[in-house]
Amino acid sequence: MTFLAILLLAAMIATVAALVYGVVMFLKNSSTEVHGPGPSEFAIKSNKAMQFRIFFQAAAILVVVVILFAAGENGG
């Protein structure tokens, strides 16, 4: 159970880190002029960071489900 708690904490920290990184890249993108066709480098980095955030968030939810399932098995 301790391993799952550590895994959950790591997933939550990774989620917050990806969120902060994505917001910073978004702000850099909005403060620069967009030149030429297609997305800028900052827009691509922001999009990728938000994809990682979704992945880490899903991992954290999965760990919570496993913890709740394990707690139900031990309590019942």
- From residue 76, alpha-carbon distances to 1, 46, 68, 71, 72 in Å are 16, 45, 12, 9, 6
Q: Is residue 26 within 8 Å of residue 39, measured between CB atoms?
A: no
Per-residue pLDDT at 49 exceeds 80:
yes
Which residues fall within 8 angstroms of residue 25, CB to CB, at 6 or more apart? Answer: 42, 43, 45, 46, 49
Per-residue pLDDT at 41 exceeds 90:
no
Confidence label for 16 from pLDDT (cuts 50, 70 and 90): very high
